[in-house]
């Protein structure tokens, strides 16, 4: 038996085998379209206009293909939104840290990464030549110990702290005040992944750092265009000097085909709405939906990502299938995405959900918990 066959059999035994869905329930709580822009006619029309003006593809990496107004316009608006000097877009959110992180550190440096961080952050860290150490999320003592020992072992090396502002699987917000205080105390850099907070929280939806008034304390803000902005792609926002460094050193930017103009125009249109009064109303609707769902939950979260932990893979899959049979799609998250014995339903709330739809979900979840 080949190693591939053995791996497949092991996944089947452990309940971690995955397959692309053939059918999904009509009511989705499984996607990250937090403000409902993925099917907004205005966003779609912006993409159509960009196809007419600039074609269906960027055709090459940006250093080769020449100027594209959709990329430049979006980057200017992203930088203004994030209150930074500059921004740079990438073809996908996953590719962004794969290019950015290795360009920031060398084999003389150390990366301190949250223990349960998103896979893209781990992969970016592993692609670098830096020493990788893990710390416990929202545990200042754990991070302090890692910073202290890293400084002692390598006093001349730089330290890059990497954290998610809104955790993609646990749904909690980072203790950003502690992260900033410690990075300043030890002279470290901070890269904050705002993927799930971008658009959904903060003044004009600018994210968690903006919500806390700490955006200027974050050295690199990273985000995605494929969640609350309803498009595809990723971006970083930072000082002009740092962004110029990424433009010259981030390999996924240098050697990858640039994101399609249509995706940039769609994200730009969504961003315009996000920063408007309508965007504020959408975020208020999202917060109302979060409060409605959270009422009566044992472990409510303050953001759009909610969890119901069942522990075993089999029970989690049964719960997902039960909800699907009732017409609701909810993601079943199993190891290795989350730690062993913490398999869960991951519920994504959106401004597009109605109160009756959320009530329908909470009632179904209550029955599952009582079963």
Compute the distance between CA of residue 164 and CA of residue 176 in angstroms, rounded to an integer.
10
Residue 76, both tokens = 């200017």
Strands 305-311 and 343-348: antiparallel
| Three-state secondary structure call for residue 28 | strand
156 included as an active-site residue: no
Rg for the chain (alpha carbons), in Å? 21
Calculate the alpha carbon distances from 7 to 1, 4, 13, 309, 314 in Å: 10, 5, 10, 26, 18
75 included as an active-site residue: no
Residue 159, both tokens = 């330290």
From 33, 75, 109, 164, active-site residue? 164
Instruction: Check if the beta carbon of residue 167 is closer than 8 Å to that of residue 195.
Output: no
Instruction: Check if the beta carbon of residue 283 is closer than 8 Å to that of residue 345.
Output: no
3 included as an active-site residue: no
From 32, 146, 200, 289, active-site residue? 32
Q: Which residues pair with 133 in a beta bridge?
A: 112
From 168, 313, 348, 350, active-site residue? 168
40 included as an active-site residue: no
**CB-count exposure of residue 156 (10 Å: 0-12, 13-18, 19+):** exposed
353 included as an active-site residue: no
From 71, 167, 183, 227, active-site residue? 227
Smallest CA-to-CA distance from 29 within 366, 283, 332 is with 332
Instruction: Check if the beta carbon of residue 113 is closer than 8 Å to that of residue 136.
Output: no
From 82, 196, 301, 353, active-site residue? 196
From 40, 70, 109, 193, active-site residue? 193
From 71, 82, 118, 183, active-site residue? 118
| Three-state secondary structure call for residue 297 | coil
**Ordered alpha helix ranges (H), the chain:** 3-14, 41-54, 62-65, 69-82, 95-104, 119-127, 140-153, 176-186, 208-211, 240-249, 251-254, 261-274, 277-294, 313-325, 355-370
Catalytic residues: 32, 118, 164, 168, 193, 196, 227
């Amino acid at each position: 038996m080949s190693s591939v066959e053995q791996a497949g059999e092991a996944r089947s035994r452990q309940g971690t085998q995955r397959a692309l869905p053939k059918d999904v329930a009509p009511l989705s709580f499984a996607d990250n379209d937090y403000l409902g822009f993925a099917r907004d006619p205005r966003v779609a029309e912006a993409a159509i206009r960009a196809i007419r003006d600039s074609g269906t593809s960027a055709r090459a990496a940006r250093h080769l293909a020449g100027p594209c107004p959709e990329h430049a316009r979006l980057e200017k608006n992203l930088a203004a939104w994030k209150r930074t000097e500059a921004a740079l877009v990438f073809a996908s959110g996953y590719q962004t840290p794969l290019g950015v992180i290795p360009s920031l550190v060398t084999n003389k440096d150390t990366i301190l990464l949250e223990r349960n961080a998103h896979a893209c952050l781990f992969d970016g860290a592993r692609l670098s030549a830096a020493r990788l150490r893990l710390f416990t999320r929202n545990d200042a003592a754990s991070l302090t110990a890692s910073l202290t020992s890293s400084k002692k072992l390598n006093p001349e090396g730089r330290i890059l702290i990497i954290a998610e502002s809104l955790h993609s699987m646990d749904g909690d917000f980072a203790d950003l005040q502690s992260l900033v205080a410690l990075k300043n105390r030890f002279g470290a850099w901070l890269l904050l992944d705002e993927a799930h907070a971008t658009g959904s929280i903060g003044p004009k939806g600018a994210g968690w750092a903006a919500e806390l008034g700490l955006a200027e304390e974050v050295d690199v803000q990273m985000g995605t265009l494929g969640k609350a902005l309803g498009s595809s792609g990723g971006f970083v926002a930072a000082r002009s000097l740092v962004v110029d460094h990424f433009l010259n050193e981030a390999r996924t930017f240098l050697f990858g085909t640039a994101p399609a103009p249509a995706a940039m125009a769609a994200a730009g249109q969504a961003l315009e709405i996000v920063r408007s009064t309508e965007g504020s109303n959408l975020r208020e609707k999202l917060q109302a939906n979060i409060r409605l769902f959270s009422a009566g939950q044992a472990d409510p979260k303050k953001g759009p990502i909610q969890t119901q932990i069942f522990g075993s893979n089999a029970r989690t899959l049964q719960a997902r299938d039960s909800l699907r049979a009732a017409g609701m799609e909810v993601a079943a998250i199993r190891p290795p995405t989350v730690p062993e014995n913490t398999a869960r339903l991951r519920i994504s709330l959106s401004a597009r959900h109605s109160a009756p739809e959320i009530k329908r979900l909470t009632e179904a979840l209550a029955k599952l918990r009582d079963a």
